[in-house]
Structure 1
Amino acid sequence: MRAWVQFCLIYIFSGHSHLTLPCSVVLWRCSLSCCMPPFILNGSQLYTYSVCNVGEHEQDNWLRTTFIQRRPSASRVFVELQFIVRDCNSFDGSSLTCKETFNLFSSESDADIGTSFRKGQFKKVATIAPDEITSRNELRINTETRVVESLSRKGFYLAFQDIGACMALLSVRVYYKTCPATVKSLAAFPETVAGGGVNQALREVAGACVENAVSEEPPRIYCTVDGEWVVPVGQCQCMPGYEAVNDTCRDCQPGFFKAFVSNDACELCPVNTKLLSSGALLCPCAEDFYRAPDDPTTGPCSGLPSAPRELVATTTQLAAGKLQLSWSPPEDTGGRSDISYSVECRRCEGTACQPCGEKVRLEPASTGLMDTRVAVSELEPHLNYTFTVEAHSGVSLFASQGLPRSNRPPSTSTLTTPPKVTSMRLDERSLTSLSLSWAVAPRRLMPQPTRYKLTYRKKDDNLDVTTYTVLILEKSSVQISDLSPGTAYLFRVQALSPEGSPGGSSIEDEFETLTEGKEDAVEIHVIIITDVSFLLFRRRNSHSRQGPEDTYFSSSEQLKPLKTYVDPHTYEDPNMAILKFASEIHPSHVTKQKVIGAGEFGEVYRGILKAPGRKEGAVAIKTLKPGYSEKQRQDFLSEASIMGQFSHQNIIRLEGVVTKFKHAMIVTEYMENGALDKYLKDRDGEMPSFQLVGMMYGIAAGMKYLSDMSYVHRDLAARNILVNNNLECKVSDFGLSRVLEDDPEGTYTTSGGKIPIRWTAPEAIAYRKFTSASDVWSFGIVMWEVMAFGERPYWDMSNCEVMKAINEAFRLPAPMDCPSAVYQLMLQCWLQDRSKRPRFPDIVSLLDKLLRSPESLKAIADFDPRVSIRLPSTSGSDGSPFRSVAEWLESIKMSQYSENFTCAGVVTMDQVLQMKNVDIKNIGVRLPGHLKRIAYSILGLKDQTSTLSVFAV
């Protein structure tokens, strides 16, 4: 958003009488009038300030604005000019001092000084050169915008200097940018002047939550110098009973509710609840439905469960007086899953019944049963037992408060225990038969017909071949034939209930058939069988073998796992990856000191980590802004899950994470010198090649470690390399998507995500084939960035132009003063066939050899502009050579050296083309970065001039 400034232009002085007409016109996106009659453009009259003294010497004409008051917070203003400049070649040689540029100046003041004017008060802002030159037959209007920065006083003046051009100034517009009033994350922020103070790119702005919204911390946001809002912090959330709709908090509609502070939508009232009017915080239960004390107040209401079903009794063991009750769950659980059961036992003699008490044992318990079965023991024979099973749930307590029990009838079953076999005897035996009988305990109730189950087998130690014989008998005796002579058998008898259920069992008795030649004798061996199932279990497992997986442990070598990167996204629960790979830090051990950056998820702080058993030290703290979703939290912490797996001096070290408290944080070691690209830009030309190669060696060593762990970085770039006080370089930023979203111009979007085009191998762009070989390509680009002191790869080319050039086999040219061996390694990293690129172990080895032999760095790679795709500012905007030195310097942003060139007598582009590095230094260009930029451009101009000459032939 732009704010306009209203002011006047005042003609100050000129050395020529026909320009002394007084002229003062108010500007408000209006035209200017002075000195020349209006002319017609597109049917409208256009008034101008104009001057055209190209036939006279020593022109120095000035035009100054009236006092422009500055809004206190507007330290940066934009000046938009519309003007016409006539082509000097159109004067047929009559021009003595014709120029095609003019200058813009500014001067600050705390008060209006009227018409007082001194040139010494003004400082130069820029040299203005036209993109379009006006000929005799065609009028061409130019529009240029320049920035006046670091304003601090109450107001300022602008002035325009003409030193010999034939030009007309049509309009001047002065404005500053603002971030418009906005509502973000339910927080309202006022209109704010863009940018902060001197050298401050962001201005922090406090906001206020919209109506019916609250925030745990005051909301704030940052306003950039371009008038854009970024990184809102302290998200506002709608109060209970309200939901976020667009930029407001609207009350919940009838039938909906919201119980907590959040930006979630209102929820439909759950089942079995009453539907209230708008703005409901909760939905109460409907009649005959309830919530348990532990139920969430936002959950559904439930009814009481119906009765359990299909209650049956069976025996499960051989010992007497034991049975098992089992049943099926209720048909209607009332909508609950916390169903439990209680069992009531009553014993009856005749018609009199009473609670069983402690005489009968129920296992595991008689109440609070979660399973649908219970074991009953200590039952007495000849008695009737009645068992009542009742279902309960979390809302059953309401039944004790006078509520009807009709919806939860008990399930009962009356059981009569069968008689207990008390003894077994041998009545008669022969070589092949045995006659047996047994006695039962006397009955105190009316006797009922009883059947018996007889089981017998040979007494044999080999259980694998045991054969059981089972007989169902109607009387308490039996004769068994077809037995083997001289063989012992084991017998067991159980009485059956009238319903056919097994009852109490006898001890197991042993009887033996006669052996030929021996007298009849009876030998009884009593064996108490306590757990037949255990014997059968042993039988099932007697043939177990070592599984194939056991061979993994056959040698100590197989016990040593290979260190390999594990993708945290393969975990079903991402929180498990955090627990496995990152150590938890208590937030009281972390102290935030200063904001050093802002990312997608929140702010980045410099801070102090002071944990027990650890040395206090500086750390970097990445924070997660409030109001995050669970996915944002997992994405934020996934980088820690990755970093936590690495341990190398050239990989950024993870100190730990804060996840068990409300505000999640990632804590890493603090790198004092920040990102490598910015560090190099600030020291352009100040570092020797040997030191730069040392930095490359550290980066390569870190990447070799990552490739050995089978990890592919995918976003290796100088901006993602951090530098500490010892100038050690460490690979960082293992969250690709966050980096890319911060720089959309550096990415190319495909169906699989975003790719940083300038750093990415062609196969990764075309087929998303990311490997260590594609990381090697990126490392070659990083090498170029290092040797070019942070220059942007491929300069101002578009992504499409970069991809097209790479596919046509063009590669970046060698940076100035780049050792030949280093540039050759770059070219190897950029081979089209990825299988032919060097591996990171090869790169580390080669860089190590270069560092061990500094003489190998003295041979400098030749700079041939013809191998470059496009050098910055090698021609004018229309592709033709520059018409003046000032125009050329302005295009490469080196206009501050215009006077240096003029004083040195270099006033034509032909003279510029003859200059060498020593000549550039001699005219006063001392900064290495500026020297390099000017020299680069001259080399490009030479190549372009040579090419044009060839075409001319």
Structure 2
Amino acid sequence: SCADESKACAGVFVMWEVVQRTLNGSQFYTYSICNVEEREQDNWLRTTFIQRHPLASRVFVELKFIVRDCNSFDGASLICKETFNLYTSESDADVGTTFRKSQFKKVATIAPDEITGKNEMHINTETRVVDGLSRKGFYLAFQDIGACIALLSVRVFYKTCPGTVQNLATFPETVAGAENQPLTEVSGVCVDNAASEELPRIYCTEEGKWAVQVGQCQCKPGYEEVKDTCQECRPGSFKAEASSDACEPCPANTDTLEHGAVLCACKDGFFRAPTDPSTGPCSGPPSAPRDLSAVPQPSVGRLILSWTPPEDTGGRNDITYSVECQRCDGVVCHPCGERVRYEPASMKLTEARVSVSELEAHLNYTFIVEAHSGVSQLAGERGLYESTYYFIYFFLYPLNPPQITTMRLVGRTSTSLALSWDVSPRPRPQLNIRYKLTYHKKDDNLDKTTYTVLTLDKNSAQIKDLAPGTAYLFRVQALVSLVSCRCVRLTLFSLPGNPSQNYTVLLVAAVLVAMMLIVVSAVLFFRRRKRNSHTRQGPEDTYFSTPEQLKPLKTYVDPHTYEDPNVAVLKFATEIHPSHITKQKVIGAGEFGEVYRGILKAPGRKEVAVAIKTLKPGYTEKQRQDFLSEASIMGQFSHQNIIRLEGVVTKFKHAMIVTEYMENGALDRYLRDHDGEISSFQLVGMLRGIAAGMKYLSDMSYVHRDLAARNILVNNNMECKVSDFGLSRVLEDDPEGTYTTSGGKIPIRWTAPEAIAYRKFTSASDVWSFGIVMWEVMAFGERPYWDMSNHEVMKAINEAFRLPAPMDCPSAVYQLMLQCWLQDRAKRPRFGDIVSLLDKLLRSPESLKTIADFDPRVSIRLPSTSGSDGSPFRSVSEWLESIKMSQYSENFTCAGIVTMEQVLQMKTEDIKNIGVRLPGHLKRIAYSILGLKDQTSTLSVFAV
């Protein structure tokens, strides 16, 4: 039926009929209409009232239908249609059979993929989206304008993210958001015996799939994760903290008989030191030291004690020793007191050795060496059970043995001499010291010399029965108990003698010493002069001789060469306190967590807008290192066309990477949103910035490996900056976007042939990728190689196929692309050459006016005038959808352009007049029509 408020319905109207049909032996009912012989048909079929879920603002309508081939009707093919329209109308209540056409708005024109002829039947399935619903319910309506149609079924549904348990958090079933709300935040609840420091959240995408989770739940102490639940630890195991780890077996010398143990208690006889972790093993006290020995060193007045470590350390490695000294007189022993000195100390010794000095002679010393550990005090000093005692009788002077300092002639007669001598240090009264005096005639033959030896108790002697007029040589030596002094005094006494010999010896010695001092001074003088000469010719001469030497060449350092990746982060990135960062809005969900727009306000600096990458809770150490590795790389770069790293947060629980904020986002999306609005001169300027950034990276010996428009960011000044330096990057959402080899994933459409075949990534392979980026920029974000598969792309490249020039691409720019795509990587330009050439083009804008040859059938990947089965396009909407311009379907319909024959007659002014204003869209439609005309002409020639 047809009704339009008070207006009369024009044209011929026929009711849709319920028809019973048989297909493959089964009967089913359809709504059908087939009035193809009358002009200006306007036939409507409306559904009953469909109630809407309060949260479902977008629904999907799946249609199954049959459309009859117009050519199968004799004489009606000129007015017959093969499409129908889908409409919708919202309402807060069921209006019954009341119907007003003006209340409905068009959703889409439905065209079949396969049409039904006289002898065959084809069922088509199409799905359309009805978005922006807000009222309690809605109606669907189907408009026929002169086709032969059978409507088999209408399925109306909305998408939801199913209820799920992820990372021990329960999330309810959630209605997917609309197209303008791609991510819906959903809060979850931890399962029993699990907890989370922050509320677990997850995002539901518009396609009804769950995205990255934030705020992971973890099993409480005493519980472990088992199939999305938290179960108690079994006896003999424990878990001390809330974590995603499993319960651990009780450590050594501990045990527990309970379920859900948080800690394991020490077994009898074993203990934990106050500094030991409560989750660590228990240990016992050490046994006594062994094999105590003493080595006297009387020449320096000390005693060396040494021993062997205990046989049983009790399972600990913090063994220390103490040494106790006792001085014994007869049977009574007393502490040695503070006078005795120990090197390095008497307590907390870590080595099994100590030096003891300041001991007194003629005393009995007892030394007790004791072993300790962190649990000795708790165990009641059990290390003394087998203490070792060592008794030593040691006669020793306090510092040095006594020396004979002076020997004097006290008196003499013709046959006797009276001698005395001094001793230092002065002997103590209780010390038993004696002297050994030896003398002989000075002029005796050494082989026949007769020595006289006397042992004396005092430091003087009277020598008698000497030969008159004879010189005698005397030697005196101090004897202390059983230890003999090494130092003696040798003196010559004679009748009148000549002292000149002594003076001669002294004079020769003085001359030799003076000569040695002169030689040493000269050597030191020349060395100092040479060193000063090197200093004057140091950094100033090196760095200021030419401008190029003002700054030494810097080379990129792979952070993975560091044994500890955290050291690399601290070396190349600035640590930021979290209090200086303010998060404002989630702008994306990355591989490791959410990405925020925010503000950085560091002390002494003005506020700056930043992008904040976060690491989701519950990460592993490997994930944390991968997350921060990008910061370790970015922190080494400083260039206006490289994304700037502001700093990192690593010393706090929530790790973050903070970079400058690029207002316009990724380059590929920015170009698609501004298709045809940016001049060629501006596009070349953007390419020049990207090339400058890549030249800097190449000079740093850094190979990017994933240079693509999606990894270039754009700020408010249309300045481009290279980004994405993560080594574990997600290359593309599309599984066809990467090619997996034994070394990892490769973005095929952007990668040089040698890198695909042999994984040879160099600056030359980055140049190839830059050529693809140039094509993306000049094609306003078009996908390289369009819908070709990866294998088709690789095959085409190996057969010398190269991407054709984009629409309105300057010839000089396209020639540079072809240079970047040379098969021989050695012949490709370097990034320095590319920057120079782009600078030259920008200095001469007239050089950009010459446009490269353009073939619309290839350059924008237009489909042929026929579909996959070889038949021509059946509707204008099908043609517009094929060139991704379906948003203008309504414009063509309102202008009365409903057949492809009418499209082929259109000119540029006609396209403007129907409302296509964007230059890029205008050119795309115009070039498509040009290609259609060219192909139609070609088909006609073939037909002849």
Q: Give the TM-score band, short-chain normalised.
A: 0.7 to 0.9
2:68 maps to which residue?
Answer: 86
Distance in 2 (alpha carbons) for counterparts of 1:944 and 1:663? 60
Matches within 5 A, 1:216-255: 216-255=197-236
1:876, distance to aligned residue in structure 2 (A): 1.8
> Separation in 2 of the partners of 1:552 and 1:169?
95
Structure 2 residue aligned with 1:457: none
Tell which deviates more after alignment, 925-934 or 384-393: 925-934
1:671-750 equivalences under 5 Å are 671-740=662-731, 744-750=735-741
2:778 matched to 1:787? yes
For residues 201 and 871 of structure 1, what CA distance do their matches in structure 2 show? 30
Aligned match of 2:363: 383
Q: How many residues align?
A: 857
For 1:312, the aligned partner's letter is: S
1:203 and 2:180 correspond: no
Distance in 2 between residues matched to 1:239 and 1:171, nearest whole Å: 52
What is the rounded CA distance, in whole Å, between the counterparts of 1:944 and 1:372 in structure 2?
97
**Relative to structure 1, is the Cα distance of residues 680 and 893 closer, same or farther in structure 2, using a 3 angstrom cutoff?**
closer
* Overall identity of the aligned pairs, in %: 75
Mark the CA change 1:134 to 1:395 in structure 2 (over 3 Å): closer, same or farther.
same
State the alpha-carbon separation in 1 of the partners of residues 476 and 937 from structure 2.
Answer: 115
Pair 1:296-2:277 in alignment? yes
* Aligned residues of 1:873 and 1:937 also touching (Cα < 8 A): no
Match of 1:59 in 2: 41
Deviations along 1:222-268, whole A, 9 cap, x unmatched? 00000011111111111000111221111112211000111111111
* Alignment match, 2:801: 810
Shift of 1:38: 2.5
Distance between the aligned counterparts of 1:915 and 1:492, measured in 2?
A: 134
Work out whether residues 187 and 208 of structure 1, in 8 Å CA contact, stay in contact via their aligned partners in 2: yes
**What's the counterpart of residue 600 of structure 1?**
591
Contact 1:713 1:734 in 2 (8 A): yes
| Structure 2 counterpart of 1:411, one-letter code | T
- 1:869 Cα deviation (Å)? 9.5
Partner of 1:279: 260
Structure 1 CA distance for aligned equivalents of residues 274 and 113 of structure 2: 78
Residue aligned with 1:770, SS: coil
TM-score (norm 2): 0.83
Aligned to 2:377: 397
1:702, distance to aligned residue in structure 2 (A): 1.1
Quick one: which amino acid aligns to residue 148 of structure 2? C
Distance 1:881 1:551 in 2: 88
1:12 and 1:49 mapped to 2: Cα distance? 19
What are the superposed Cα offsets for residues 177-200 of structure 1, whole Å, 9 maximum, x if unpaired?
00000111111100000125x611
CA drift of 1:142 comes to 0.9
Kindly state the Cα deviation for residue 675 of structure 1 after the two structures are TM-superposed.
Answer: 1.7
Letter of the 2:59 counterpart? V
Shift of 1:210: 0.7
Counterpart Cα distance in 2 of 1:725 and 1:732: 16
Output the CA distance in 2 between the equivalents of 1:572 and 1:900. Answer: 64
Of 799-808 and 558-567, more deviation after overlay is shown by: 558-567
Q: CA deviation at 1:745?
A: 4.3
Q: What's the counterpart of residue 665 of structure 1?
A: 656
Structure 1 residues 48-77: Cα deviation after superposition (integer angstroms, max 9, x where no partner)? 111111222121111111111111111111
- Gap change, CA 1:947 and 1:305, over 3 Å in 2: farther
Match of 1:35 among 18, 30, 45: 18
SS in 2 for 1:37: strand
* Structure 1 residue 915: Cα displacement: 4.9
Does the 8 Å CA contact 1:307/1:330 hold for their aligned counterparts? yes
Distance 1:587 1:89, change over 3 A: same
Compared CA separation, residues 565 and 558, structure 1 to 2 (3 A): farther
Whether the 8 Å CA contact 1:103–1:161 is kept in 2: the answer is yes
After superposition, residues 140-539 of structure 1 pair within 5 angstroms as 140-196=122-178, 199-315=180-296, 319-400=299-380, 408-418=385-395, 422-423=402-403, 506-507=486-487
The structure 2 residue matched to 1:576, chosen from 562, 567, 590, is 567
TM-superposed CA distance for 1:941, in Å, is: 4.1
Q: Pick the aligned partner of 1:847 from 838, 841, 859.
A: 838
Deviations along 1:695-719, one digit per CA (max 9) or x if unpaired, are 1111111111111111111221222
**1:646 corresponding residue in structure 2:** 637
| CA distance in structure 2 between the aligned counterparts of 1:820 and 1:668, rounded to whole angstroms | 37
State yes or no: 1:767 paired with 2:780.
Answer: no
Unaligned runs of 5+ in 1: 1-9, 22-33, 428-436, 449-474, 478-490, 526-537
Q: 2:756 and 2:492 mapped to 1: Cα distance? A: 88
Distance 2:251 2:166 in 1: 32
- Aligned partners of 1:422 and 1:438 also within 8 Å: no
Cross-structure match for 1:74: 56
Deviates more, 1:414-423 or 1:70-79: 414-423
TM-score under structure 1 normalisation?
0.82
Question: 1:723 Cα deviation (Å)?
Answer: 1.6
Deviations 1:408-436 (A, max 9, x none): 52233223325665346999xxxxxxxxx
Q: Residue 431 of structure 1 corresponds to which residue in structure 2?
A: none
Question: Counterpart in 1 of 2:470?
Answer: none
Aligned equivalent of 1:6: none
CA gap of 1:170–1:89, structure 2 versus 1, over 3 A, is same
Determine if contact 2:13/2:41 at 8 Å carries over to the other structure.
no
Q: Which residue does 1:757 correspond to in 2?
A: 748
Q: Say if 1:292 and 1:48 are closer, same or farther in 2 by CA, change over 3 A.
A: same
C-alpha displacement at 1:748, in angstroms? 2.2
CA contact (8 A) 1:327 1:372 kept: yes
* One-letter amino acid matched to 1:388: I
Cα deviation, 1:546-590, whole Å, max 9, x if unaligned, reads 9xxx99998537797531111111111111111111111111111
Residues 1:907 and 1:70: Cα distance change in structure 2 (over 3 Å):
closer
What is the identity, as a one-letter code, of the residue corresponding to 1:66? Answer: T
Please state how far the C-alpha of 1:689 moved relative to its aligned partner: 1.0
Where 1:776 maps in the other structure, the secondary structure is helix
Determine the C-alpha separation between the residues in 2 that align with 1:789 and 1:115.
Answer: 50
Aligned to 1:454: none
Residue identity opposite 2:284 in structure 1: G
Where does residue 565 of structure 1 map in the other structure? Answer: 556
Specify the SS of the correspondent of 2:255: coil
> Relative to 1, partners in 2 of residues 1:640 and 1:755: Cα closer, same or farther, differing over 3 Å?
same
Matched, 1:618 2:609: yes
CA 90–426 in structure 1, closer or farther in 2 if over 3 Å, else same? same
Q: Which moved more, 1:796-805 or 1:301-310?
A: 796-805
The code of the aligned residue for 1:648 comes to H
User: For residue 829 of structure 1, what is the aligned residue in structure 2?
Assistant: 820
Asked if the contact 1:865/1:943 (under 8 Å) is kept, the reply is: no
Amino acid paired to 1:706: L
Unaligned runs of 5+ in 2: 408-420, 434-453, 457-474, 507-519, 544-550
Deviation, structure 1 residue 520: 14
**Cα contact 2:169–2:189 (8 A) shared by 1:** yes
In structure 2, what residue type is equivalent to 1:46? F
Over the aligned positions, Cα root-mean-square deviation in angstroms equals: 3.9
State yes or no: 1:114 paired with 2:96. Answer: yes
How many Å separate the matches in 2 of 1:179 and 1:875?
39
Do the aligned partners of residues 17 and 616 (structure 1) sit closer, same or farther apart at CA in structure 2, a change above 3 Å counting?
Answer: closer
- C-alpha distance in 2, partners of 1:786/1:71? 43
CA contact (8 A) 1:874 1:937 kept: no
In 1, Cα distance between the equivalents of 2:853 and 2:488?
Answer: 104
The residue type paired with residue 397 of structure 1 is: Q
Answer whether contact 2:857 2:863 (CA < 8 A) is retained: no
Greater Cα offset, 796-805 or 333-342? 796-805
* Structure 1 position 647, deviation (Å): 1.1
Partner of 2:514: none
**AA paired with 1:366?**
S
